[in-house]
Structure 1
Amino acid sequence: MSAERFETLAVHGGEPRPAAGGSVVFPIYQGTVFEAGPDDSAAPYIRLGTNPTQRHLHRRLAALEGAEAAVATSSGMAAITTALHSVLGAGGHLIAAGAFYGGTHQFLAEHAERLGWAFDLVDPEDEESWRKALRPGTKAFLTESITNPLIQVGDLVGAARFAREHGLTSIIDNTFATPVVFRPHAVGFDLVCHSATKALNGHSDIAAGVVTGSSERIERVASVLSAFGCSLDPHAAFLLSRGLKTLALRVRQQNANALAVAEFLAAHEKIAHVRYPGLAAHPDHRRAAELFDGFGSVLSFQPVGGTAAAEALIRALRVPYAASSLGGVESLVTRLAAGGHTGAAAFGPAGLEDDLIRFSAGIEAAEDLVADFAQALGA
């Protein structure tokens, strides 16, 4: 369907008309066995991601990211790893720009060499560092739309252009931004990945991942996904499709809440530093304002007083849960060094400080969140 506004697309994009059996909610096809069609075409099969409920979700996800095709995976890490496997072979080299999510960094650090891959970590804002990392075997360029957990917004347009100029496949993790805030295919990225466990589902009750791109590229990703057995099961696919219906409403409220909390913390005498691109003082604010529709739901900050103060603040908060995920309807807060974010730690003293706290805004009232931080800092 044609839709000018994302809110309408989130509700109706990829939905069949007329609906199956007249239901406006696409049903769960839980079956694993289907008859082949009269033309002897391959029958749907869950491991292949071709069950009708899986296919329905794939159409919805492609519509939201403005892509030709999509596949859903059993987790965000399954999305990243299958995307990389679809591009890199033995002898392949990856340029990875940014202080990555710990799981992504751990995968590369512990498994790349065994798989015959090499990788270089580069500055997401420094094109010269990208050029220096190029090798004859370089196949792909990986980055994040908003880096986790240092909340940087790199030169994303430049990264897509650089990859295209050098014949590389550009891959971006868009989990923190979501397609509400940023649609990477529109600036030239080849593959877009998400941990749909987070904001796309939004209710902290499934694990899922997403890869979107051209039909040709997604066919290669789906082939790897099938071989590894990492497709998303139909019931989780149904829940994720349902979560997408409210994506725009949830993310806009979360963005507004994150900005309110960031502004409060930035002005508080007991807070040493706040990282959030919605703040004018953030070094990437101008770039984020030009590229994004909103600034995301996640910020990180450091209180005055170091690790002890960070732990005391988390204990004193009453509204957010002390938990390490993000993107759900409930606000979450965590001290990152305690959660093993090794990707940022790889950048040394400028990377992951021991007292760095990450806050993921939920959809509560902004006034209640700010008041809770005020009482916690007062304590």
Structure 2
Amino acid sequence: MSKKKLGLNTICSHIGEVPDTQFKGAVSPMFLSSSYEFLDVDVKRYPRYFNTPNQDYLTKKIAALEHSEAAMIFGSGMAAISTMFLAFLKQGDHLVVQNTLYGGTVNFIKEEFPKYGIDFTFTNGYQAEDFEAAIKDNTKLIHIETPSNPLLTVTDIKAIAALGKSKGIFTSIDNTFASPVNQKPLDLGIDMVMHSATKYFGGHSDICAGAVASSSEHIERIWNVGKNLGGSLSDMTVWMLERSMKTLGLRVKAQTKNAMKLAKWLDKHPKISKVYYPGLKSHPEHQLAKSQMKGFGAMLSFELTEDLNSQEFQKQLKLIKSSMSLAGVESTLLSPHLTSHALLTQEERDAIGISDQLIRFSVGIENTKDLKEDIHQAITALA
């Protein structure tokens, strides 16, 4: 049976399992060896080559979820995206990159690309015409993130993919916020999809990993760079990640449902000045999101009114955790200006609309009634 025809939860729970040929166990055995036979074997396995049994099989699950030919896993999301960039960009090349995206990616581009002689342009906006305007004769890659971190802007994936193909330029996307449960960019024409697997793939706030999915040809190109950079993942973590991904569909669907309820409630709250969530009809790209996403995701952001201190608000919360990361089964939130985008200057944050009042909210699987009460009591304590 074709993997594309299998249901989401079937892929999550069955594809990518390592067969237990000895004891027939229900879960994948863990192979912790760092040394494997090299004589008379089909695959010469080595952890840094991303091909130990647990690594090899887990990529099959990721590829099946993203409808790709192949995939790779890395030690972190930044290891995944940096390796992908360096596989497709060299000295003298140019990157066009979306202006609203994860601060770590922005910092990597600004800090490391000049050392490699790679040119780059951040777009003035996130519409297709903004990307086209930034293209140069030496542009080799266009990179987008949608929904974006932390303002949940939505970029037209089909339009960017078509633009890249018309110009002979590769395209890539950070699909972390949506996850393959809610969005499949390769089906819309994008060349490469990356994830911080720390987030929804892991889902329990106990794993650090990254992933890239693409064609076999592109993955081989990324592998050739990856084996030199050495950003591989320990097999213990690979095993934990495969276990966690069995419930990916269940978790993300429950979180997405909760996020929609919370976004509508926050949108009406007198102490919330603005809510950023693609599922709201008031979101400027709501219709676009509806056309390219199966669900609107479990991430949202909101701005507190000016009379409330954002840090004091977080200290008053009893249930929702203040946390550096996101996408766990527990609800968490943070101030982007102090965390994900702290490496940007105040001027840079102001230019893309990241205010000190902005709160990024990762909605978990709790009862929404409890989450609403926690937010309400925190705001009341400051009033």
**If the TM-score is normalised by the length of the shorter chain, which range does it land in?**
over 0.9
Q: How many residues align?
A: 377
Structure 2 residue 341 is the aligned partner of structure 1 residue 362:
no
Alignment correspondent of 1:377: 379
Written as runs of structure 1 = structure 2, the 5 A alignment for 1:62-211 is 62-123=63-124, 125-211=126-212
CA contact (8 A) 2:19 2:29 kept: no
Partner residue, 1:24 = 26
Tell whether the 8 Å contact from 1:326 to 1:360 is kept in structure 2 after alignment. yes
Report if aligned partners of 2:71, 2:211 keep a CA contact under 8 Å in 1: yes
For residue 367 of structure 1, give the secondary structure of its aligned residue in structure 2. Answer: helix
Give TM-score, length-normalised by structure 2: 0.94
Distance across 1 between alignment mates of 2:108 and 2:223 = 20
Verify the 8 A CA contact 1:297 1:361 in the aligned structure 2. Answer: yes
SS at match of 2:32: coil
1:15 partner amino acid: E
* 2:177 aligned partner, one-letter code: F
CA distance in 2, matches of 1:343, 1:274: 22
How far, CA to CA, are the matches of 2:265 and 2:21 in structure 1?
Answer: 47
After the TM superposition, which residues 214-233 of structure 1 pair with which residues of structure 2 at under 5 Å, given as runs? 214-233=215-234
Structure 2 match to 1:47: 48
SS in 1 for 2:225: helix
Distance of 1:124 and 1:7 partners within structure 2: 36
Aligned-pair CA distance for 1:129: 2.1
Letter of the 1:282 partner, please give it: H
Report if the CA contact (8 A) 2:330-2:363 is conserved.
yes
The CA RMSD measured in Å over matched residues stands at: 1.8
| Contact 1:272-1:304 at 8 Å conserved across structures | yes
Contact 1:44-1:50 at 8 Å conserved across structures:
yes
Give the secondary-structure state (helix, strand or coil) at the position aligned to 2:115.
coil
Letter of the aligned partner of 1:164 in structure 2? K
By how many angstroms is 1:274 displaced?
A: 0.5
2:370 partner letter: D
Deviates more, 1:200-209 or 1:123-132: 123-132
The farther-off stretch of 333-342 and 280-289 is 333-342
Residues 335-360 of structure 1: CA deviation (Å, up to 9, x unaligned): 11111515696364442111111110
Is the contact made by 2:176 and 2:194 (CA closer than 8 Å) also made in structure 1? Answer: yes
1:302 aligns with 2:303: yes
The one-letter code matched in structure 2 to 1:142 is H
In structure 2, do the counterparts of structure 1 residues 113 and 346 end up closer, same or farther at CA, with 3 Å as the change threshold? same
CA distance in 1, matches of 2:211, 2:46: 18
* Amino acid across the alignment from 2:279: G
Residue deviations 1:141-193 (CA, integer Å, cap 9, x gap): 00012100111111111011111111111110000000000011100111100
Answer yes or no: is 1:36 the counterpart of 2:38. Answer: yes
Structure 1 residue matching 2:82: 3-state secondary structure: helix
For the residues of structure 2 that align with 1:51 and 1:154, how far apart are their CA atoms? 36
SS of equivalent to 1:38: coil
Moved more, 296-305 or 4-13: 4-13
**Contact 1:19–1:26 (CA<8 Å) still a contact in 2?**
no
In structure 2, relative to structure 1, the CA distance for the partners of 1:249 and 1:353 (3 Å cut) is same
**Cα displacement (A) at 1:114:** 0.9
Stretch deviating more after TM superposition (9-18 or 86-95): 9-18
Instruction: Indicate the residue corresponding to 1:320 in structure 2.
Output: 320
Q: Tell me by how many angstroms 1:38 deviates.
A: 2.0
Q: Indicate the percent of aligned positions where both proteins have the same amino acid.
A: 38
Distance 2:22 2:310 in 1: 52
Residue 98 of structure 1: CA displacement? 3.5
Return the offset for 1:127. Answer: 2.4
Which region of structure 1 is more displaced relative to structure 2, 108-117 or 347-356?
A: 347-356
Q: Output the amino acid matched with 1:200.
A: F
SS in 2 for 1:147: coil
Residue of structure 2 in register with 1:277 after alignment: 278
Compute the displacement of 1:15 (Å).
3.5
TM score, norm. by length of structure 1: 0.95
Q: Which runs of 5+ in 2 are unaligned?
A: none
Structure 2 Cα separation of the partners of residues 199 and 73 of structure 1? 15
